[in-house]
Structure 1
């Protein structure tokens, strides 16, 4: 089989943890967090940010619309970096090993424009992609087929020469439907083994 031409990484829960539930469990307790999420639609607020809505203004408007939860909702902006942690060092090492061999490494991520720029200031590895495809800048989110098409068109790489890892089954399935090679991310070691199987890294280079 022909070796992939480029490797595409999701970011949240692949290169760094994304766990707002854990943050709010610590702040409110699990029952309180469940109430917050159910009563305010805070997750839908975040989807709007990922789709291109301005980060701070969207969170502040949502807080104003839910005054009983306003202080907690504002944490989504002011404490965001605590939700996007810690780094997944094994995956970051794979990103760097691929780039060291001259293999193009791309990001395809559901991420707000403003929040991605902030994350780049906090995490060095987010500046190391050959190109980052960020939903908040593209105006479309995974698993919409359009986001995958835009990456294909921008890179000129045919789907069968792209290999993509993501932690969400629906995002993987959407890429596979277009002919991408895919890997459901459950941990960096299995992803490393897949990159070895694809002929992109040796076991030593993959940290195995």
Structure 2
């Protein structure tokens, strides 16, 4: 069986992963009456847990976040909600609908660099588990793209050989990381081109 392996942010979700972190820093620093540089320095000094490679650390992270910024519980809750709204963006409906149409023709899976809590937030918004299985998150696997271990773990969970998988990502490094593991990759730039690439892969 052939598999289509998708990234989430910038592919299945319409979101600019390069701009929203900076936008949040500016919003949060303005909210708290400090400079972006001060906000960064405080968070760096707080030694917060790495939520991208660990699960079950979100509450510890946000407690430390609030203490570092001297923000009360209501402020932290508002900033936490703001982060997830920015992180998740909007559903790429066209690409999700195309993925649904592939059921029975291909296995459908996800490999995404992520933060602790992403599974719950993205499932609540988009119901990804109704389309994709497995969904491989870096914070749950303990390894992130483009590390070869991330792709190997995804292949193991899919029960697939590298040559039977097409990987889709909107960033160059993860796409090249997949190719270094023998997985064909598509650099996502627009839905039409990506869908055409998927159809060619499945037709061959």
Establish whether TM, by shorter chain, passes 0.5.
yes
How far the C-alpha of 1:23 sits from its partner, in A, is 4.8
- Map 1:158-169 to 2 at 5 A: 158-169=161-172
How many residues are treated as equivalent by the alignment?
Answer: 193
**Residue in 2 aligned with 1:88?**
92
Q: How far does the alpha carbon of each residue in 1:78-98 deviate from its partner, in whole angstroms, 9 at most, with x for none? A: 223320211111221221121
Q: Distance in 2 between matches of 1:149 and 1:76?
A: 35
Instruction: Name the TM-score, length of structure 1 as normaliser.
Output: 0.76
Give 1:49's aligned residue: 51
CA offsets 1:91-149 (integer angstroms, 9 cap, x no match): 212211212x4411000011234231232112223542021111111111111111111
Tell me whether 50-59 or 128-137 shows the greater mean CA deviation: 50-59
TM-score, length-scaled by structure 2: 0.78
RMSD over equivalenced CA pairs, Å: 3.2
- 1:205 maps to none
Matches within 5 A, 1:115-130: 115-130=118-133
Counterpart selection for 1:12 from 9, 15, 27? 9
Distance 1:93 1:150, change over 3 A: same
The answer for the alignment partner of 1:98 in structure 2 is 102
Consecutive unaligned residues of structure 2, counting only runs of 5 or more, are none
8 Å contact 1:185–1:191 — kept in the other structure?
Answer: yes
Alpha-carbon separation, structure 1, partners of 2:161 and 2:11: 23
- Residue of 152, 173, 195 corresponding to 1:149: 152
Tell me whether 1:192 sits opposite 2:189 in the alignment. Answer: no
Q: CA deviation at 1:34?
A: 5.3
Contact 2:166 2:201 in 1 (8 A): no
